[in-house]
Amino acid sequence: MEPFEEQNSPTDLELKRLDPSHASDYRTLMLEAFHTSPEAFTSTFEERASEPLSFWQDRLQMSEDVPCKIFGAIADHALVGVAGLQFHQRKQTAHKAKLFGMYVKPANRGAGVGRKLVETVLSAAYIKSRIRQVQLTVTEGNDSAVALYQSCGFEVFGRESDAIRVGERSYAKIHMARFLSR
């Protein structure tokens, strides 16, 4: 895999895999995401707000055999962005992983935080030798996210009409993939 060049990244930005000690901050950030950008996620604010802290701690378990890893961007001691990497568990799809749950606080957008999160997820996928591609979905119309993913090597491979509904409004999802060169 080609190394990534840092572009427009805050100098005090720390990227790390989150662990259960980050559960409260992770919960707060994701509830903000679900509330402010409901069209970007399949989970709703109401569904996730009712989950106990243990739900969020479980998502952040550090065992190497967990089906997903959550990465965080920390600036000035605050969690400002997150992205997850979910591994397929079935033998015939174990070569694929999914980037999911990407969110950057509005005040931190445009500073390279999203790019660094995507790069971190791709690096984590590359470390798993079986992973050959990383897929994601993005809500149609989120042009800045599509542009970010394309600049990180993702290509569109499909469009899913009526993928999610927020109230009575329907949203399509764009399916994208990045193949990892080995």
Residue 2, in any domain of the structure: no
> How many domains does the chain contain in total?
1
**Residue 8, in any domain of the structure:** no
Domain for residue 50, yes or no? yes
Q: Please count the other Cβ atoms lying within 10 Å of the Cβ belonging to residue 123.
A: 15
Structural domain contains residue 96: yes
> In this structure, is residue 5 part of a structural domain?
no
Total-model pTM: 0.90
Residue 5: its pLDDT value, please?
Answer: 38
Q: Where residue 83 sits, what CATH number does that domain have?
A: 3.40.630.30
Q: Please report whether residue 120 resides in a domain.
A: yes
User: What does the pLDDT look like over 78-135, one tens digit per residue?
Assistant: 999 999 999 998 999 999 999 999 999 999 999 999 999 999 999 999 998 889 999 9
pLDDT of residue 6: 40
Domain membership flag for residue 128: yes
Cα gap 164→173, rounded to integer Å: 8
Report yes or no on 169 lying in a domain: yes
Structural domain boundaries, residue 138 = 14-179
Q: What is the dihedral of CA 118, 120, 121, 127, to 10 degrees?
A: 140
